[in-house]
Amino acid sequence: MMLKDKVVVITGGAGLLGRAFCHAVAENGGVAIVAELDQRRGEEVASQLNAKGLAGRAVFAHIDINNHASIGRVIKSLSRRFGTIDALVNNAYPRNKRYGRKFEDVALADFTENVALHLGGYFLATQQFIKFFRKQGHGNIINMASVYGMIAPRFQIYRGTQITMPVEYAVLKAGILQLTKYLSKYLRGSNIRVNAISPGGVRDRQPVSFLKAYSEFCLSKGMLDNEDVCGALLFLLSDLSKFVNGHALVVDDGFSL
């Protein structure tokens, strides 16, 4: 029971990584707060976990990380219900409808909107949780970054597919890594830790040609499954990483080497 009774808020909790994270938290003795914009999918994840013999270990909370009042409501209702919130996992993936275009096709308005939605959303949620964590005297924040916040894109692996590495993503993930370092230092002496996870790509019905090109950069498995990132999350949430702070844990089967 690595996370015995720890209350962990996972934004984007119904997404590809989020649902695996909620599962891992609940299975390891924590209470997973499936904090989601998509109410139907969020409730589904929570009820699936509760039905799996993990009753009371998963709770849905409707949240929009781009809305100040919505974040405040979640903090208030969880703190009333549980008396504590132990951790925030910034894992939501907001983007607008025109996200994912090639560099030349990205309008400035879309560039700024997507950076504001994602990096700005992580900032907004973090800012409000920190205020709460300071009051309760402890806290733990884990930011989902990416290897593409660290290295230049490997554009060649996208050849012949509709997929690209959006410029906004590279820029905002680099921003999230720097935000992580900034806050860990800013929060010196507050008993609040801030770390990041930088995963490589996660398998999600990508074309076979892409998976093959991707795996040529890897050391054993190639593109990972969502459960493969959970160990890093559990470590950073647990007291095993008590003195790990301002760190970005890379989970990518060597892709970024």
- Give the catalytic positions in this structure: 169
Is 53 or 220 the residue whose CB approaches ligand NAD more closely? 220
Q: How far apart are the first and last CA of the chain?
A: 33
Number of chain residues interacting with ligand NAD (CB under 6 A): 24
Alpha-carbon gap, residue 218 to 228, rounded angstroms: 14
* Least distance CB 35 / ligand NAD (angstroms): 7
* Least distance CB 201 / ligand NAD (angstroms): 4
Report if residue 8 touches ligand NAD, rule: CB under 6 A.
no
Report if residue 91 touches ligand NAD, rule: CB under 6 A.
yes
Report if residue 177 touches ligand NAD, rule: CB under 6 A.
no
Q: Exposed e or buried b for every residue in 172-202, given b needs 16+ CB within 10 A?
A: bbbbbbebbbebbeebeeeebbbbbbbbbbb
- Sheet bearing 58-62, strands edge to edge: 58-62, 31-36, 7-11, 87-90, 139-144, 192-199, 248-251
Q: Where are the alpha helices (DSSP H) in 161-227?
A: 167-186, 208-215
- DSSP class of 217: T
Q: Of these, 7, 8, 10, 11, which contacts ligand NAD (CB under 6 A)?
A: 11
Is 26 or 223 the residue whose CB approaches ligand NAD more closely? 223
- Mark 44-83 with x for binding to ligand NAD (rule: CB under 6 A) and - for no binding: -------------------xxxx-----------------
Q: Which residues bind ligand NAD (CB under 6 A)?
A: 11-12, 14-18, 36-38, 63-66, 91-94, 121, 144, 146, 199, 201-202
